[in-house]
Structure 1
């Protein structure tokens, strides 16, 4: 029984890890493509390398892609002036809204069911404890740990009837003993 529960927990953990990885790659790819389209329309030089930077940055939850897009806004400011930089900055906000309100719920959805506050605290703790690598690994580790814990946790079902009294439990045993004594007395 314990082996079966461990197998189920491990399978659920692997499913969560694979779903997190798959979802992160999809969201990072969409972020990179949207960043490239925005930067190409605005005419920012080095649009493709900046889009790759956004793609890589998207692997750090919450802060990665916006930080990469801020670098793109600085490049737009240096190369094209304040108006294109403002457009890129507004594009950063738009891409962030699309990611946070459309992509994260649709793509990640039920793959990794963690509350956004847990994600924020996890990324912060991962960054403090392990730097950039800690920030990247924090959410998959938390998601897999929570999934495995949830599968292994055994919750007793609630009682539907009141508990029997001690007399109700012992009375049948006492009756059986009395019948056995009577039967032994008749044999003698």
Structure 2
């Protein structure tokens, strides 16, 4: 006779319930992807601004007044930038957009593209994909309606993030304290330590990232203006934002700006732009990024690159931007779990016998 099964009905139900819970969580994450992305962006902004609020609180200001001052300063800074920079950037961007067809024709007529076309048949593949996209888009909304819908979606996302940031700043600390008060007393100190590490690492990363983006935008805009690039302002701003994606962002932006310079300003200026981005890449990769990622979030550059690739596949550019703080948070939690395990193993080891 065979041995009776060691798996009880309770164990089977527990396993099935766990599998169903994991599937339900995966479906929920997929369905609520946009909401999770907006919440993540709002949380990062709230953490960054909360460091300024905490600084004002240490100066004996009440939290409500500190939040008001920080948000007012942010609004003034954004308004000033919008009035001084954005109109010129939009004008240059519109001029660049009108010249895109002629730039594409010039690029297709170049000997470099002709060699690529003879070998890879790029035009034929693009036309085939274009026909497939047209067939799939049959009955879709007109392009103008798509553009209007996209603008309203972007504005709605911005308003949602703004309200989330305000509510997180006002009610977030109290909610965190209430959640911590529900933990067991012997575990509360550990949870507080983990949250404090995540808070410090995220704030340091965001402050450093803002500094890097500002340096990138300033240096690139100045250099492109000096060499006489006609669209220096939008390209410099785009280059600055590219630093939000660690390591990979500046490489992609530098390559695109170099190709655009080659098409609009000639070979010599394109070579100058290429040399500039190679030098700036060394500055950001060997000086600025290590200063931020190793001293604030303590994440290895290789893990950072893996995180960027993984989260970019999950959530696009926003996922790549959130990759480093998410990786830092995961690393802090894993280290704390390993520390708990070491403490448990150390408690199980019997003390050495007393000397005779």
TM-score, normalised to structure 2, is 0.43
Map of 1:6 onto structure 2:
191
Map of 2:254 onto structure 1:
69
Q: How does 1:1-188 map to 2 (within 5 A)?
A: 1-151=186-336, 153-154=339-340, 155-156=342-343, 163-164=352-353
Count of residues paired in the alignment: 166
For structure 1, which runs of at least 5 residues remain unmatched after alignment? 169-188
1:4-58 Cα shifts (integer Å, max 9, x gaps): 1101111111111111111111111111112112212221111111110011111
- Greater gyration radius: 1
Map of 1:180 onto structure 2:
none
1:144 Cα deviation after fit: 1.6
Map of 1:172 onto structure 2:
none
Runs of 4+ in 1 over 3 A off after TM superposition: 155-159
1:93 Cα deviation after fit: 0.5
The structure whose RCO (Cα within 8 Å, separation 6+) is larger is 1
Map of 1:179 onto structure 2:
none
1:65 Cα deviation after fit: 1.7
Find the residue that maps to 1:111 and give its secondary structure.
helix
Higher helix share: 2
Comparing 14-23 with 67-76, greater Cα deviation is found at 67-76
1:85 Cα deviation after fit: 0.5
1:107 Cα deviation after fit: 3.9
For structure 2, which runs of at least 5 residues remain unmatched after alignment? 1-185
Q: In the alignment, is the contact (CA less than 8 A) between 2:229 and 2:265 conserved in 1?
A: yes
Find the residue that maps to 1:60 and give its secondary structure.
coil
1:129-181 Cα shifts (integer Å, max 9, x gaps): 2222221111110112212333453333979x97239xx9xxxxxxxxxxxxx
Query: 1:110 and 1:129, CA in 2 relative to 1: closer, same or farther beyond 3 A?
Result: same
Q: CA RMSD in A?
A: 2.5
1:80-113 Cα shifts (integer Å, max 9, x gaps): 1011011101111010001011112234441011
Map of 1:174 onto structure 2:
none
For residues 18 and 89 of structure 1, the distance between their equivalents in structure 2, rounded to whole angstroms, comes to: 33
